[in-house]
Amino acid sequence: MAHDPRPGQWRTATLSSDLVADYKPFVMVDGEGVRCSLYVSGCPFACAGCFNEAAWSFRYGRPFDDELEERIVTDLGHEAVQGLSLLGGEPFLSTRVCLRVVRRLRTAHGRAKDVWCWTGYTFEELLAEVGAGQQDKLELLTELDVLVDGRFELAARDLSLAFRGSRNQRVLDVPRSLAAGSAVPWRAG
Ligand code: SF4
């Protein structure tokens, strides 16, 4: 069974060592179009059947350093690339790394390139985290375009779904969801 944190229980400041499990440029499976995908390390949700169990440990992988940051920024500048994808591990528990990359992208490209993020938190849980004083989670949310939210549930697994692995997970339009204060589905195009 996946772990269910209380609001404010899990924090980047106390859990993350700013390690990344992987970086894959020019992929076509982590969202819409050609993307650069960063997989951060550490995820305490521990969903049964997780696609990336190796990255549960916050000590897995390698440090996120200036060299990798510059490589990602360069790759994102390629005209064929639609945007950045943040996966895990749990991006909302690696907010230092994610915010570094996303802010470089926004400085260089504004909203011309998009940012997708996969999280084990639901959108409602993230709002509760923000309500519990986790400002970094709000800062990351406000930089996102699309959020695929919720734990992976083995009993609800459906291989026919686009961008998500189980039926409980949702693909959300983040700016519209934040404006509404509730989850708004993302629509392509
Ligand atoms: S939230 Fe995602 S990365 Fe974390 S254990 Fe669940 S499926 Fe794996």
Q: What is the mean pLDDT of residues 124-150?
A: 98
- Residue 3 — pLDDT band, cuts 50, 70, 90? confident
Summarize the confidence of residues 34-57 as an average pLDDT: 96
Residue percentage of the chain with pLDDT more than 90: 97
Give the chain's mean pLDDT.
96
Please give the helix or strand (H or E) that residue 130 lies within, else none. helix 123-131
Cα 89 to averaged position of ligand 1 atoms, centre (Å): 6
90 C-alpha vs ligand 1 centroid, how far in Å? 7
pTM of this structure: 0.97
Distance from the CA of 21 to the center of ligand 1, in angstroms?
A: 13
Rounded mean pLDDT of 99-105?
Answer: 98
Q: Please tell me the predicted confidence (pLDDT) of residue 109.
A: 95
CATH of 12-180, one of 3.30.70.380, 3.20.20.70, 3.60.70.12, 3.30.540.10: 3.20.20.70
Q: What is the band of 189 on the pLDDT scale with cuts at 50, 70, 90?
A: confident
Three-state helix/strand/coil letters over 138-175: HHHHHHCCEEEECCCCHHHECCCCCCCCECCCEEEEHH
Whether 140 lines ligand 1, by a CB cut-off of 6 Å, is: no
* 8 A C-beta contact, residue 182 and residue 33: no
Q: What is the mean pLDDT of residues 115-132?
A: 98
Domain boundaries, given as residue ranges, for the chain: 12-180
Atom 1 of ligand 1: nearest residue by CA position = 120
Residue minimizing CA distance to atom 8 of ligand 1: 50
